[in-house]
Amino acid sequence: MRRFAGCCRFLWNKALALEKENYEAGGKRFGYYALAGKLKEWKKEDDTSFLAEAHAQILQQALKDLDRAYQNFFAKRADFPRFKKKGVHDAFRYPQGFKLDESNSRIFLPKIGWVRYRKSRKTEGTPKQVTVSLSAGTWFVSIQTEREVPHPVHISQSAVGIDMGVACFATLSDGSSIKPLNSFRKYEKKLAKLQRKMAKRVKFSANWQKLKARIQRLHHKIANARNDFLHKTTTAISKNHALVVLEDLKVRNMSRSAAGTLEAPGKNVRAKAALNKSILDQGWFEFRRQLAYKLAWLGGTLLVISPEYTSQTCSQCGCTDKQNRQTQAKFKCTACGFECHADYNAALNILAAGHAVSACGAGRVQAPVLKQEPAYGAAR
């Protein structure tokens, strides 16, 4: 499995280097079919003959991924493709040829054989492709399936607006609130201690490798805790509300560094860095992504509205004034005197804007992700 993942990584880097070299020389992009033809030549060369040991289809999928990465870049959906590093997102994908024996919790992978796995949930539908990936020393198999489902109708008729924050992860317009998990903050000191130890070790030595594995496992634990929190939260919200309204927050811009340049250094850099760390620890984009597809599964809708003035507008009289919110938590209208928690007032404004979108179309609807999430299993 490591050899197969290494072959896919090597092929990606070699094809990307060839594409960049050809572009700098003034040529056109090769594309998938031209690179697939070169793959046949590389398998025959002495320096790259090891590519013939890997399954042909997983190498072709790596070239298809590179071609898709270029298309996403030209469509301004993603950054320019980057070279892959060993040990970072090691994976390979089978589009066909695999066999699934779910009753005995095993799967047949071409050129590898039968492998037992721990089933996380029952597979529904027709298996279409299998992705094998390595994360924190454990191999995972993701089985993507295809099935037809009836058009869902949500059992609830309620609507809710949600205001995202750092001090309070989510404040709902029904008056409830969700405290943040802060999974990274919980293990930040332990992680820093291990990283200081690793910096004193000889690079690539046995002790260095052991500490690196410990750090990877700790990062994996932090990510698992965050994902568990987000999944439980989004599942509860999507089941209880048919319409959910969120602000269209630009997380990348909000978490941008304030360091500045040598000519124009930034201000309050340390405070902004701490805020950026808290924002990224919350997982706001993942929260929105999960809400989108879970509401689509259940027949609900996720609306996204502009975040402008939602925290400065009074939800009772509509007065917009920056003096309405003088502190992070307190909101007091300068016009009508309405007073409440600032996040709750913002959630009410978000819900009202969502109703305007539903009635008049004064905004946009978050496109739901309708495809089924794959079933995961850990290979033994």
pLDDT recorded at residue 365: 54
3-state DSSP assignment of residue 245: strand
Whose CA is closest to 92, among 1, 216, 14?
1
Order across the sheet with 126-135: list the strands.
91-94, 126-135, 138-146, 375-379, 113-119, 106-109, 99-101
pLDDT recorded at residue 61: 97
pLDDT recorded at residue 147: 93
pLDDT recorded at residue 371: 41
| Catalytic site residue from 19, 67, 247, 281 | 247
3-state DSSP assignment of residue 100: strand
Task: Report the alpha-carbon distance of residue 23 to residue 74 in Å, rounded.
Answer: 14
Task: Report the alpha-carbon distance of residue 134 to residue 91 in Å, rounded.
Answer: 6
163 is catalytic: yes
Dihedral (CA of 243, 244, 249, 250) sign: negative
21 is catalytic: no
Task: Report the alpha-carbon distance of residue 308 to residue 332 in Å, rounded.
Answer: 18
pLDDT recorded at residue 362: 54
Cα radius of gyration (the chain): 25
Task: Report the alpha-carbon distance of residue 38 to residue 21 in Å, rounded.
Answer: 15
Torsion of CA 247, 307, 225, 144, to 10 degrees: 40
* E strand or H helix that includes residue 115: strand 113-119
Task: Report the alpha-carbon distance of residue 348 to residue 161 in Å, rounded.
Answer: 6
Instruction: For helices 269-282 and 284-298, give the axis angle rounded to 10 degrees.
Output: 20
The tens place of each residue's pLDDT in the chain, 380 residues long, gives: 999 999 999 999 999 999 999 988 888 899 999 999 999 999 999 999 999 999 999 999 999 999 999 999 999 999 999 999 998 999 999 999 999 999 999 999 999 999 999 999 899 999 999 999 999 889 999 999 999 988 999 999 999 999 999 999 999 999 999 999 999 999 999 999 999 999 999 999 999 999 999 999 999 999 999 999 999 999 999 999 999 999 998 888 888 888 877 777 888 888 888 888 888 999 999 999 999 999 999 999 999 999 999 999 999 998 999 889 888 889 999 999 999 999 999 999 999 999 988 877 655 555 444 344 444 455 43
Centre a 10 Å sphere on the Cβ of residue 165 and count the other Cβ atoms it contains: 22
349-to-50, 162, 310, 341 alpha-carbon distances in Å? 61, 10, 6, 13
Global pTM reads 0.82
Instruction: For helices 206-240 and 284-298, give the axis angle rounded to 10 degrees.
Output: 40
378: which strand partners? 118, 140
| Catalytic site residue from 19, 90, 281, 343 | 343
pLDDT recorded at residue 259: 83
Task: Report the alpha-carbon distance of residue 367 to residue 84 in Å, rounded.
Answer: 30
188 is catalytic: no
**Beta strand ranges found along 276-363 (DSSP E):** 301-305, 330-332, 339-341
pLDDT recorded at residue 364: 55
Are the CB atoms for 161 and 349 separated by under 8 Å? Answer: yes
314-to-112, 160, 248, 288, 323 alpha-carbon distances in Å? 63, 18, 20, 25, 11
| Catalytic site residue from 19, 67, 90, 163 | 163
275 contacts: CB under 8 Å, gap ≥ 6: 166
Task: Report the alpha-carbon distance of residue 19 to residue 7 in Å, rounded.
Answer: 18
